[in-house]
């Protein structure tokens, strides 16, 4: 058996450093999470500008941050509740008929529970949808005397009257039993994931270094 001693210098200092780091870990983590969340919010704003044609300030500034604390180490980025419903199909795809419009169409007997709507591109906006103002006009005038809109039950569609006596009428809404799908425009989740992967480590290193440097 060979016996030998090893002398380690600075052990007390190293232990004190690691103890200090452990005490500062929750604070540094919280700071890093919040910095990352605000980085994600900035990138989501950029993504909204890229995805939509000249979005208004309210839409552009709709990403919000729920901040972390030392006791609750979780930060979140979300879309303002007032506009979530309007953007959900831009994020996830799927049918984009407003709920109140669908409810009204079903109460009028125009749309059944297993039916959906698609639109004539001639009348859609840059997002491939009918505006809410257009829908309100349709609902107010469809099949009404003097109204511009009428239902053709045989061709499963809503038409808009054009020309003298409505002779140049055009279909504006098509009713189908096939659930339509729409492409995703706003890459909310992908933008967040890429940003977190890119910035979190650096945010944490800065937060931890500052926490240890300023620890009492």
Please give the residue range of the domain that contains residue 30.
17-91+184-214
Pairwise CA distance, residues 34 & 41, whole Å: 11
Are 110 and 175 spatial neighbours (Cβ–Cβ below 8 Å)?
yes
158 phi and psi angles, rounded to 5 deg: -110, 135
Domain count, the chain: 2
3-state SS assignment for residue 83: helix
Q: Do both 156 and 191 map to the same domain? A: no
Q: Do residue 101 and residue 84 come from a single domain?
A: no
Q: 61 in a domain, yes or no?
A: yes
Residue 199 burial (CB count, 10 A): 17
CA distances from 13 to 9, 16, 26, 37, 198 (A): 9, 5, 22, 35, 33
101: in domain: yes
113 and 165 co-located in one domain: yes
Tell whether 1 is covered by a domain: no
Tens of pLDDT along the chain (216 residues) come to 333 333 445 445 545 555 666 778 888 889 999 999 999 999 999 999 988 878 888 889 999 999 999 888 899 999 888 887 667 667 766 556 677 888 889 999 998 888 888 888 888 876 677 888 899 999 999 999 889 999 998 888 999 998 876 678 899 999 888 776 666 778 888 999 999 999 999 999 999 888 888 876
pTM over 0.85: no
């Amino acid at each position: 058996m060979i016996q030998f001693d090893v002398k380690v210098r600075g052990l007390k200092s190293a232990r004190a450093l690691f103890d200090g780091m452990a005490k500062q870990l929750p604070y540094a983590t919280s700071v890093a999470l919040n910095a990352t969340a605000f980085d994600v919010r900035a990138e989501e704003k950029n993504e909204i500008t890229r995805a939509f044609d000249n979005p208004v300030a309210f839409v552009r500034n709709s990403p919000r941050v729920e901040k972390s604390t030392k006791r609750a180490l979780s930060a979140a980025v979300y879309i303002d509740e007032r506009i979530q419903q309007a953007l959900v199909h831009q994020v996830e795809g799927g049918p984009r008929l407003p709920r109140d419009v669908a409810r009204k169409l079903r109460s009028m007997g125009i749309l059944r529970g297993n039916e959906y709507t698609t639109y004539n591109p001639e009348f859609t906006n840059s997002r491939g949808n009918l505006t809410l103002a257009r829908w309100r006009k349709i609902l107010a005038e469809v099949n009404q005397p003097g109204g511009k809109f009428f239902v053709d039950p045989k061709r499963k569609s809503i038409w808009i009257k054009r020309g003298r006596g409505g002779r140049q009428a055009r279909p504006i809404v098509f009713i189908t039993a096939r659930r339509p799908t729409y492409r995703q425009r706003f890459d909310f989740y992908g933008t967040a994931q890429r940003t977190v992967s890119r910035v979190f480590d650096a945010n944490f290193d800065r937060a931890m270094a500052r926490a240890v440097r300023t620890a009492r």
